[in-house]
Amino acid sequence: MENSQENNSKLKKWFKRVGWAGLAFFTIKGLIWLVIFYVGADSLQS
């Protein structure tokens, strides 16, 4: 139980430090990687 609580507080601390800009950046970065993999797989299939 304590480990879960400790993880939760670390996540909150990290989110406060990074903020909304960091969340948006990592979300967009992840979406770009998904598009890259999709285009790569699509070109291999053709």
| pLDDT on residue 2 | 56
Q: Which of helix, strand or coil describes residue 46?
A: coil
Domain residue limits, the chain: 20-46
- Low pLDDT (below 70) residues in the chain: 1-3, 46
The CA-atom distances, in angstroms, between 34 and each of 5, 8, 22, 38 are: 32, 27, 18, 6
- Assigned token pair, 14: 């990290």
Please state, in angstroms and rounded to a whole number, the distance separating the CA atoms of residues 39 and 12: 35
The CA-atom distances, in angstroms, between 41 and each of 8, 29, 38 are: 36, 18, 5
Note the pTM of the prediction, 2 decimals. 0.57
- Residue 25's identity, in one-letter code, is F
| pLDDT on residue 30 | 97
